[in-house]
A and B are shown apart, each in its own frame.
Chain A
Amino acid sequence: MSGETYMPASWGYGLLAVFGVVWVALGIYLGRRSRDMEGFTVAGRNVGLALGAATAAATWITSNTVMLAPQFALQLGLWGMLAYCTASLGLVLFAPLSARIRQLMPRGYTSAEFVRLRYGRVAHLVFMGISLFYGLTWLVSMAIAGGVLLESLSGIPYFFGMSAILATCVAYTLFGGMFAVIGTDFIQTVIILAGVVLVGFWVLGEAPADEIHATLLERRPMLLDLAFPAALMALFNNLLFGIGEIFHSNVWWSRAFAFREGVAWKAYALAGLLWLPIPVAAGFLGLAAPALGINVLRPDTVGPTVAAEVLGSTGAIVIFVVVFCSLASSIDSLLAATGDLLTHEVVKPLRPDLSDASLRKWASAVILGLGLATWVACWPWDHRAGEAWYAGDPIGSLATILFFAGPLVGSAIAPIATGLYSRRASPWSATAALVCGTGAGLYAYFEMGWYTAALVGAAVSVAITAVGLALGKPDFEWSRLDPEAGEAS
């Protein structure tokens, strides 16, 4: 890690303490409604448009969005930012699916439950493997990113920063469940959007757009070139990775279940619109660096470097708060959604006799266990050996690990989408699509590069699904997705 920070550590500790207390207090306050499982895991299935759109946008704005977008802009130019923007399409494309999910499974809880009811046990097992691998990878990478970023911004030691942000998120998710997650997500979204806009306007005041453009044209014209091949590959890979992440992950399904009837579609479409400008609004800081004469030593922290150079300590505080909110809004959602997945798909089948109140206690215990497991996984074990495993280019290393999940989630796009709309989609084609898509994507990851993995995984999965649809019989009964309907009536 570089020894240079952007603000005194004491300020960082102060901000951590203030946000920690505020989020946990909010979690306790909002958690008054989370007494039963329905409240704790899907917020009573009555969430309105404002909170719905904000929670979807906040969860999708990770620390990567605000930190990696400027790095992409600096290294891949305009296409780097625009490639990142395509991730918003995942939210927009999920909008109709979320309405369909809400309609087909009005009493549903998880995405794995859909796969089990729609495609059977074998596909469910494969899907659970993919979902848990992806969810845990994202969770661990966010917690590590938290420690690394807080250290690089304020000098707070990695272990303390990682532990503090994880403990805060576990505490308020534990007290308030989905109500706390959605409530805090709203505030976090407004803070992130306002922070990014504030820093953006401030930087443009110091380095006007014409100056940035002229400097790039003179010194690094490739960054303004729309025919930049490496960036074009990244565009398609990012697009499919983002769609795969959203279509399969319980983070997004649990929200579809939580939204009031008729809200899911609008909430996801609006969230896509809210998210769309963030990679450009945050990313252009990377392009402003040459015009401002800033010598960027570490591309992964070019965003805070530019903000702190231009705005001084105020800029560093704003960036710290934006990064903290981006991390918290994703970590809390992952804890809640992965916790739901384990509670409903592992604990409940093993203990079908559990009452609602007991299951609610199990859900809390699972979240606590997940938090502890994440904390252990993020422990800087190798520090004792002299250097942490993520040393060097920590954010880049984390992104590479996360991209490893690309083929896994890319292979889930076709089985999920067709399973929701076509009665022809069959268990064997879904299982084959998941397994072969993942295998082919991982082969591409190692043989061709990370930027092709999701693309290849999704393509193979689509081809197998298409064959399955051609050969399958239109015999699936949609009512099987809501088995409790019969019991209720």
Chain B
Amino acid sequence: MSWVVPFWAFSALVWGALGLAGAGSVALLVLLVIDIKNRRTW
């Protein structure tokens, strides 16, 4: 039995992972700015 992943799924996986990781780093910085503004950093 063989279920080979098609190109579109492979591409979506790789680009999706890179996009999510990139968005994550930006989201963290935005959240930190919001926390600093609201004096809720720690």
Q: Which of A212, A225, A281 has the most CB of B within 10 A?
A: A281
- Interchain CB contact under 8 A, A213 and B35: no
Do residues B2 and A280 form an inter-chain contact, with CB atoms below 8 A? Answer: no
Let me know if A357 is at the binding interface, CB within 8 A: no
Residue of A nearest to B1 (CB): A227
Is B3 in contact with A226, judged by CB distance below 8 angstroms? yes
From known contacts A204-B14, A225-B4, A227-B1, infer whether A49 and B21 are also in contact, taking CB-CB under 8 Å: no
Tell me if A50 counts as interface (CB < 8 A to partner B).
yes
Q: What is the bound-complex CA distance between A193 and B42, given in angstroms?
A: 23
Query: In A222-274, which residues have CB < 8 Å from any B CB?
Result: 224-227, 260, 270, 273-274
- A222 CB to closest chain B CB (Å) equals 9
Whether B28 lies near A189 (C-beta < 8 A) is yes
CB-CB under 8 A from A276, the residues of chain B are 20
> Are A217's CB and B21's CB within 8 A?
no
B5 proximity list for chain A (CB < 8 A)? 78, 224-226
Contact B28 A209 (CB under 8 A): no
Residue in A209, A214, A270 with the greatest tally of chain B CB atoms within 10 Å: A209
For A57, list chain B residues within 8 Å (CB): 24
| Chain B residue total in the interface (Cβ 8 A) | 30
Chain B residue nearest to A182 in the complex (CB): B42
Which residues between 1 and 42 of chain B lie within 8 Å of chain A, taking CB atoms? 1-5, 7, 10-11, 13-22, 24-25, 27-29, 31-32, 34-35, 40-42
Smallest Cβ distance from A11 to chain B, in angstroms? Answer: 24
Chain B residues closer than 8 Å to A51, beta-carbon distance: 32, 35, 41-42
Q: Out of A186, A210, A280, which one reaches B17, CB within 8 Å? A: A280
Within 8 A of B (CB), among A263-314: 270, 273-274, 276-278, 280-281, 284
Please indicate the chain B residues that have their CB under 8 angstroms from the CB of A225 in the complex: 2-5
Interface presence of A22 (CB below 8 A) = no
Q: Does A48 contact B (CB under 8 A)?
A: yes
Of B7, B19, B21, B31, which is within 8 A of A209 by CB? B7
Contact B40 A260 (CB under 8 A): yes
Secondary structure at the A interface, as helix, strand, loop or mixed, is helix
A200 to B3, CA, bound (A): 26
A44–B15 Cα gap in the complex (Å)? 40
Interface contact B40-A284, CB-CB below 8 Å? no
Contacts of A196 in B (CB 8 A): 21
With contacts A48-B40, A217-B4 known, is A284 near B14, CB below 8 A? yes
Q: Give the chain A neighbours of B35 by CB distance below 8 A.
A: 48-51
Q: Within the complex, what minimum Cβ distance (angstroms) separates B6 from chain A?
A: 8
Tell me whether A224 and B10 are in contact (CB under 8 A). Answer: yes
Q: How far is the CA of A179 from the CA of B42 in the complex (A)?
A: 9
Note all chain B residues with C-beta closer than 8 A to A221. 2, 4
How far apart are A208's CB and chain B's nearest CB, in angstroms? 9
The interface residues of chain B lying within 8 Å CB-to-CB of A448 are: none
Known contacts A47-B42, A50-B41, A224-B10; A197/B4 CB under 8 A = no
Asked if A209 meets B14 with Cβ closer than 8 Å, knowing A54-B28, A186-B28, the reply is yes
Which B residue sits closest to A221, measured CB to CB? B4
Bound-state CA distance A200–B42 (Å) is 33
Is A53 engaged at the interface, CB distance under 8 Å to the other chain? yes
Are B15 and A209 in touch, CB under 8 angstroms?
yes
The answer to whether B40 touches A209, judged by C-beta atoms less than 8 angstroms apart, is no
Contact A197 B18 (CB under 8 A): yes
| Contact indicator A193/B24 (Cβ below 8 Å) | yes
Nearest CB of chain B from residue A117's CB, rounded to whole Å: 27
Determine which of B3, B32, B41 lies in contact with A227 in the assembled complex, contact meaning CB atoms within 8 Å. Answer: B3
Say which residue of B4, B22, B28, B34 sits within 8 Å of A224 (CB atoms): B4
Contacts of B10 in A (CB 8 A): 78, 209, 212-213, 224
User: A64 CA to B15 CA in the complex, in Å?
Assistant: 22
The contact of B7 among A43, A48, A210, A227, by CB within 8 Å, is A210
Q: Select from chain B the residue with minimum beta-carbon distance to A194.
A: B25
Q: Which of A46, A179, A186, A277 is B21 in contact with, Cβ under 8 Å? A: A277
**Residue numbers in A under 8 Å from B28 (CB-CB):** 50, 53-54, 186, 189-190, 193, 274
B34 to chain A, nearest CB (A): 7
Q: Which partner residue on chain A sits nearest B30 by CB separation?
A: A50
CA distance A224 to B4 in the complex (A): 5
Residues in chain A near residue B20, CB distance under 8 A: 273, 276-277, 281
A223: shortest Cβ distance to chain B, in Å? 9
Known: A189-B28, A213-B7. 9 other contacts (CB 8 A): A44-B42, A48-B42, A182-B42, A193-B24, A197-B21, A209-B7, A226-B5, A260-B42, A274-B21
